[in-house]
């Protein structure tokens, strides 16, 4: 074996090995692009109809603002609280038979939405 081959493993690598390396780099690049766009996070989303006191987790975008909405199905004002792991709980009010949305940067964290009112509510992530 000459000194060039010993110093540079790419010099003696067979073509199949190089193809595998290129495929791994392509897959890794696609995974990073998916994570940065937030498309990969959407699969963990859990929309849900919430009875009073119930809660569900809603996924958010890794990068960029996410919109979490709650629809109130009751004849009275409803309320919900958003819990993120790095922020204080946030109380929100929803008029009867309407929807209230909250936009924020949660950086891919799952946000717990809890129905703190006395009416049925539906929580979901709007894109």
pLDDT by residue (tens digit) across 33-46?
554 444 444 444 56
Contact (Cβ atoms closer than 8 angstroms) between residue 80 and residue 117: yes
Q: What is the pLDDT of residue 44?
A: 47
Q: Which tokens belong to 67?
A: 């919109």
For 16, residues 6+ apart whose C-beta sits below 8 A from its C-beta are none
Q: What is the pLDDT of residue 9?
A: 56
CA distance 14 to 21: 11
pTM for the whole structure: 0.64
**74: burial class by Cβ within 10 Å (0-12, 13-18, 19+)?**
middle
Distance between start and end Cα atoms, the chain: 59
How would you write the pLDDT of the chain (127 residues) with one tens digit per residue?
555 555 665 655 556 655 566 555 554 555 555 544 444 444 445 688 999 999 999 999 999 999 999 999 999 999 999 999 888 999 999 999 999 999 999 999 999 999 999 999 999 998 7
Q: Which tokens belong to 109?
A: 């964290």
Q: What is the pLDDT of residue 21?
A: 60
């Amino acid at each position: 074996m000459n000194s060039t081959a010993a110093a540079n493993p790419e010099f003696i690598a067979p073509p199949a090995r190089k193809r595998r390396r290129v495929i791994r780099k392509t897959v890794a690049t696609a995974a990073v692009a998916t994570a940065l766009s937030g498309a990969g996070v959407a699969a963990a989303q859990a929309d849900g109809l919430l009875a009073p006191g119930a809660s569900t987790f809603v996924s958010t975008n890794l990068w960029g603002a996410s919109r979490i909405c709650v629809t109130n199905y009751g004849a009275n004002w409803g309320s919900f609280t958003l819990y993120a792991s790095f922020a204080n709980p946030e109380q929100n009010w929803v008029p009867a038979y309407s929807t209230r949305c909250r936009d924020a940067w949660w950086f891919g964290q799952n946000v717990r939405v809890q129905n703190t009112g006395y009416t049925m509510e539906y929580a979901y992530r709007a894109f």
